[in-house]
Amino acid sequence: MLFGKKKSTASFTPSAAVERVTTVLGPGISWKGDLRGKGGVRIEGALEGEIAVRGMVIVGETGRVTCEVVKADSVIVAGAVNGKIQAVKLEIRSTGRVYGDVTVQSFATEEGAYLRGQVTMEERVDLSDLPSPAKEKNVEALQVQKSEE
């Protein structure tokens, strides 16, 4: 019976898989373009463009994001984000800097975190334009669309 219970909880792993990092933009990389898809993304380099990810976005301590808006289920900022953030959950770490308004359901900061903007907490954040988990089967693949200049 114990094995049957473990298998039944294992059927929920696709949603749990979104909570892990599947793509990394390293510290020596500068990217100009949009980042869209499903999965977990860690940004340690510089990214200039829109982010729309069904999953988690982590901006590491060396990460720098400049955009109009970051949309994701969960966002953790330990580096710098210059733009709006729309997320279900937002966490700004002690080294994190956010310059822009945020709209969230859940919000947490560590001592030393910096936010210049307004915080709007909603009962439900509309992320309907993010990629749907039902439409995309590959959890680990992110579509990267380079913006046209």
The beta-strand segments (E) located in 2-139 are 23-25, 30-32, 34-43, 46-48, 51-59, 64-77, 80-92, 97-99, 102-109, 114-116, 119-121
Place of tokens 């800097």: 97
Q: If you count them, how many residues does the chain have?
A: 149
Structural domain boundaries of the chain? Answer: 18-126
CA distance between the termini of the chain = 58
Can you give the pLDDT at residue 12? 33
Can you give the pLDDT at residue 11? 35
Per the CB < 8 A criterion, the answer to whether 79 and 63 are in contact is yes
pLDDT band at 79 (very low <50, low <70, confident <90, very high): very high
Q: State the DSSP H helix or E strand holding residue 144, giving kind and residue range, or none if neither.
A: strand 142-145
pTM of the model: 0.75
Residues 139 and 37: their CA atoms lie apart, in Å, by 9
pLDDT band at 10 (very low <50, low <70, confident <90, very high): very low
| Amino acid (1-letter code) at residue 89 | K
Pairing of strands 80-92, 102-109: parallel
